[in-house]
A and B are shown apart, each in its own frame.
Chain A
């Protein structure tokens, strides 16, 4: 592929080249999909049936918790186990200029020269929830291309940015020490969607306290209940019914705990597969894809119609003066 083909991209041809291992075609395809280009839709349609194999692991948590560094450590661990990895890192778009500064590669330096790793930065482009609207489609492309593990890093998320749960099989909540007391850990939102909770920066002195606050908050609610009921009635807030959320410590800086995190993510994947939740998750996500698409279409239609109606009200002459 040459850059000259940027002006008139061919989605089907790009999909074929990408499947043959052309990294530039892959990158170009991701742009088309991200931009909602019609050729991107054509490529997606061709690739969609091949998707569904990859293990998508989402990383969320507040800004500065160390998500990028941890994601890069996890990628390195997976590479050492012989897995190819893709990283999709989302950063926020400015609501004022529409521009964005995508700085996640900054923490992923030593991964860049590895041909088994593909890193793609995405701007949220005004989409709420810690993801970009097209993040799912980007994941679908990488999945269809046969990447077995896809790590998705959300925008440094606030408490309610839970959309990652809709795109990832396994959600890792990254917490840093000193970010709040046990009441924070009891609040609804991010905590509820986690399949694995990680206290990162475990080399910090306050880490122990944070770990304990999270453990006690979680144990009192969900797990004891789980155990009492013998898992027959999974807690209502559980995103993965019957799964006991491991609470781990990592230090991306000292490279500790990362292997345990990867093991836990693997265990979660196996749990999903063994309980057929993997299948139902895929069905849910497909449903969400259709809903998203409908939502976009209907919204556009409503805007169009509303605009027309408003125009009619404010400028009644438009109605009469239109040529019969």
Chain B
């Protein structure tokens, strides 16, 4: 029996900067995870529905448009509506430090800015999945 970590990497919102999301997706693939990459311009409902259908262990969002304070609450709400409130969600992109506390209050478990080592993200995911309360 195999238990492979499944990760959703999604780009909600309208910015077209997917380099970061692709670099992370590739790093996670190379760390032995199965990465479902949704591509650009996802609505909050699309992200939540993909997380549900793919039964992922963790969701990574990449937002570089500055719209994170608008998008993240809606994504969390959509996840909640689908019974996925305790799914770990992490965020990457251009996120001002001042917003991090508010995002964490919304349920985002980690925020990774530019320059983050991929190993940091890999370790975070491994811990988040293993630490999933039974």
Binding site for B on A (CB under 8 A): 1-4, 6-8, 23-24, 27-28, 30-31, 35-38, 93-94, 96-103, 105-106, 109, 112-113, 118-121, 123, 125
Query: Which A residues touch B15, using CB under 8 A?
Result: none
Prevailing SS type, chain A contact patch = mixed
Q: Whole-angstrom distance between the alpha carbons of A55 and B29 in the complex? A: 33
| 7 sampled A-B residue pairs with Cβ under 8 A | A1-B83, A4-B86, A6-B132, A24-B55, A27-B53, A105-B36, A113-B49
Asked if B117 CB lies within 8 Å of chain A CBs, one says no
User: Are B86 and A113 within 8 A (Cβ)?
Assistant: no
Q: State the Cβ distance, B112 to closest chain A Cβ, in Å.
A: 19
Q: Whole-angstrom distance between the alpha carbons of A122 and B132 in the complex? A: 23
Query: Which A residues touch B35, using CB under 8 A?
Result: 99-102
The 6 lowest CB-CB distance pairs between A and B, nearest first, are A106-B39, A99-B29, A27-B55, A7-B134, A98-B32, A112-B46
Query: Which A residues touch B3, using CB under 8 A?
Result: 35
With A24-B83, A24-B84 as known contacts, state yes or no: A105 contacts B55, CB within 8 Å: no
| Residues 23-50 of B contacting A (Cβ, < 8 Å) | 25-26, 28-39, 41-43, 45-46, 49-50
Query: Which B residues touch A106, using CB under 8 A?
Result: 37-39
Asked if B1 CB lies within 8 Å of chain A CBs, one says yes
Asked if B4 CB lies within 8 Å of chain A CBs, one says yes
Query: Which A residues touch B110, using CB under 8 A?
Result: none
Q: State the Cβ distance, A43 to closest chain B Cβ, in Å.
A: 14
Asked if B52 CB lies within 8 Å of chain A CBs, one says yes
User: Are A97 and B32 within 8 A (Cβ)?
Assistant: yes
Q: State the Cβ distance, B51 to closest chain A Cβ, in Å.
A: 9
Query: Which A residues touch B2, using CB under 8 A?
Result: 35-36, 125
Q: Whole-angstrom distance between the alpha carbons of A37 and B55 in the complex? A: 15
Asked if B133 CB lies within 8 Å of chain A CBs, one says yes
Query: Which B residues touch A24, using CB under 8 A?
Result: 52, 55, 82-84
Query: Which B residues touch A28, using CB under 8 A?
Result: 55
User: Are A8 and B46 within 8 A (Cβ)?
Assistant: no
Residue among B36, B38, B46, B52 with the most chain A CB within 10 A? B36
Q: State the Cβ distance, A44 to closest chain B Cβ, in Å.
A: 14
Query: Which B residues touch A38, using CB under 8 A?
Result: 1
Report which of B25, B50, B84, B134 forms a contact with A101, defined as CB distance below 8 A.
Answer: B25
User: Are B38 and A99 within 8 A (Cβ)?
Assistant: no
Query: Which B residues touch A31, using CB under 8 A?
Result: 6, 55
User: Are B37 and A105 within 8 A (Cβ)?
Assistant: yes
Asked if B54 CB lies within 8 Å of chain A CBs, one says yes
Q: Whole-angstrom distance between the alpha carbons of A1 and B134 in the complex? A: 13
Cβ proximity bits B44-79 to A, threshold 8 Å, 1 near / 0 not: 011001101111000000000000000000000000
Q: State the Cβ distance, A228 to closest chain B Cβ, in Å.
A: 49
Asked if B87 CB lies within 8 Å of chain A CBs, one says yes
Q: State the Cβ distance, A250 to closest chain B Cβ, in Å.
A: 22
User: Are B55 and A99 within 8 A (Cβ)?
Assistant: no
Q: Whole-angstrom distance between the alpha carbons of A93 and B84 in the complex? A: 27
User: Are A109 and B39 within 8 A (Cβ)?
Assistant: yes
| Residues 64-116 of B contacting A (Cβ, < 8 Å) | 82-84, 86-87
User: Are A97 and B30 within 8 A (Cβ)?
Assistant: yes
Q: Whole-angstrom distance between the alpha carbons of A93 and B26 in the complex? A: 12
Residue among A8, A98, A105 with the most chain B CB within 10 A? A105
User: Are A4 and B133 within 8 A (Cβ)?
Assistant: yes
With A6-B132, A7-B134, A36-B1 as known contacts, state yes or no: A97 contacts B29, CB within 8 Å: yes
